[in-house]
A = this chain, B = another copy of it.
Amino acid sequence: MTTVRVSDLHAHAGATVSVDGWVMTTRSSGKIAFLVLRDGTGYLQAVFPKNEVVDGAWERFATLTQEASVRVTGMVREEARAPGGYELTASDVTVLAPSTDYPITPKEHGTAFLFEHRHLWLRSRRQVAIGRVRSEIQQAIHDFYYERGFIRTDSPILTGAIGEEAGELFATEYFDLGQAYLAQTGQLYIEATAAAHGKVYCFGPTFRAEKSKTRRHLTEFWMCEPEVAFADSNDNMRLQEEFVSYLVSRALERCTEELKELERDTAPLAKVTAPFPRITYTEAIARLQAEGSDIEWGADLGADDETALAKAYDQPLFVMNYPKQVKAFYMKENPDDPRTVLNNDCLAPEGYGEIIGGSQREDNYEKLLERIHAQGLDPATYSWYLDLRKYGGFVHSGFGLGLERTVAWICGIPHIRETIAFPRQIHRLYP
């Protein structure tokens, strides 16, 4: 007997096959019984006519419990109303391994309980759908850069004392070399590889030991960071809008079933196409003030400010040229207004907030050194980074897209903790 996965059933219509999977639900009348099964590649209904099944199968069916692993045998039948278009007219079922008192029942459970059972909760329809969207978006990220001739260069996680913000770093003993810190960003490193390969990106986990407890923060999250030599802030925003609209269109095209499972209204996503609207930080402050906010020029935008600004647009919104004092030391001073830098954030529509932070990088050795001093950082630690301005300095720009925030937006879910298999938050390290 051929054993096939649910996603491959279409190639076996009319044939008798076996499918291995886990029991979702069962129901039975006196003469016919129904088993809905999942194998990770899809969902399958198996129909057991009492008079046609093999000896013992009807009794075995009666013992099935939620999440028991089973092998079902039967004939593949086309059925337009079935989830994947096929059903099984089953002749037999055997239990591969039992499941007694599975903790996650069809009734409601609290969030803490579900995250404590995250290793099992991942099997539920909704979590499976989110996981599939995340996986599709990751492949789309790689395809986007690969097709455009970018070279993927991995930045290190274990680093010396280098980063955006001291005090938000996880530290570990590193042999005889003292403390190492878990990278908050790969950017500084890929500025070096951009000089080797021209167009590069990194994609990997990043770490923030922030005590933030919001819907948009994880202590461990994945970030995609491209960096392009001989590209300025405008080129950078063009790349961002092309990239973000590509990710959205890939999800719309290839995750139809998953977005339906998540009850995502896809109409707002369908409107996401380059170019995106752009406003300056200074314009943003004026608008917020006009709407009654007491925010002053010079203050960073908060999540509520971002939501207020973004709600005027169907598209993601670029907010450009923030005050120097609220942004990282490596952003290039704006020649038209040296109080500001050549940076941009990208705010997702529908209140999902910042998904990208990007900037042109300071390529002037003296100015960069001055900023390092001004922020109280140790120039010795940054000597290799300063070298990039010493030997053939170059205009360059890049950005970081947060994977979990992007997936949360595309899936239409309010909290990013469900967008990663095993979320890490300040109060959660298990499972």
Asked if A394 and B20 make an inter-chain contact with CB atoms under 8 angstroms apart, the answer reads yes
Asked if B363 and A97 make an inter-chain contact with CB atoms under 8 angstroms apart, the answer reads yes
Chain B nearest CB from A168 CB (Å) reads 12
Asked if A426 and B146 make an inter-chain contact with CB atoms under 8 angstroms apart, the answer reads no
B68, B123, B142, B197: the one within 8 Å of A128 (CB): B197
Asked if B207 and A204 make an inter-chain contact with CB atoms under 8 angstroms apart, the answer reads no
B40, B204, B229: the one within 8 Å of A39 (CB): B229
Chain B nearest CB from A35 CB (Å) reads 14
Tell me how many chains of this kind the complex includes: 2
Is A307's CB within 8 Å of the partner chain B? no
Is A67's CB within 8 Å of the partner chain B? yes
B40, B120, B173, B180: the one within 8 Å of A391 (CB): B120
- Name the B residues within 8 Å of A222 (CB-CB): 154
Knowing A40-B195, A102-B391, A175-B426 touch, does A131 contact B158 (C-beta < 8 A)?
no
Chain B nearest CB from A24 CB (Å) reads 11
Asked if A429 and B159 make an inter-chain contact with CB atoms under 8 angstroms apart, the answer reads yes
B123, B139, B152, B158: the one within 8 Å of A219 (CB): B158
Q: In the complex, which residues 101-128 of chain A have their Cβ closer than 8 Å to any Cβ of chain B?
A: 102-103, 117-120, 122-123, 127-128
Asked if B119 and A131 make an inter-chain contact with CB atoms under 8 angstroms apart, the answer reads no
- Name the B residues within 8 Å of A298 (CB-CB): none
Is A160's CB within 8 Å of the partner chain B? yes
Contact with B along A77-115 (1 / 0, CB 8 A): 000000000000000000011111011000000000000
Asked if B149 and A41 make an inter-chain contact with CB atoms under 8 angstroms apart, the answer reads yes
Asked if A131 and B153 make an inter-chain contact with CB atoms under 8 angstroms apart, the answer reads yes
Knowing A177-B427, A387-B119, A394-B97 touch, does A155 contact B422 (C-beta < 8 A)?
yes
CA distance A220 to B182 in the complex (A): 12
Q: In the complex, which residues 379-402 of chain A have their Cβ closer than 8 Å to any Cβ of chain B?
A: 384-385, 387-395
Asked if A430 and B198 make an inter-chain contact with CB atoms under 8 angstroms apart, the answer reads no
- Name the B residues within 8 Å of A172 (CB-CB): 170-172, 182
Knowing A131-B151, A387-B120 touch, does A158 contact B424 (C-beta < 8 A)?
yes
CA distance A229 to B132 in the complex (A): 17
CA distance A410 to B316 in the complex (A): 42
A118, A120, A389 — most chain B CB neighbours (10 Å): A120
Question: CB within 8 Å of B: which residues of A?
Answer: 3, 5, 7, 20, 22-23, 39-41, 67-69, 96-100, 102-103, 117-120, 122-123, 127-128, 131-132, 134-135, 138-139, 142, 146, 149, 151-160, 170-177, 180, 182, 189, 192-200, 204-205, 207, 209, 211, 219-220, 222, 229-230, 363, 384-385, 387-395, 420-422, 424, 426-427, 429-431
23 contacts between A and B (CB under 8 A): A7-B149, A22-B392, A41-B149, A41-B197, A103-B391, A117-B384, A118-B384, A119-B387, A123-B195, A131-B153, A132-B151, A138-B152, A139-B142, A154-B222, A157-B205, A157-B220, A158-B429, A160-B431, A170-B174, A170-B180, A172-B182, A175-B427, A385-B431
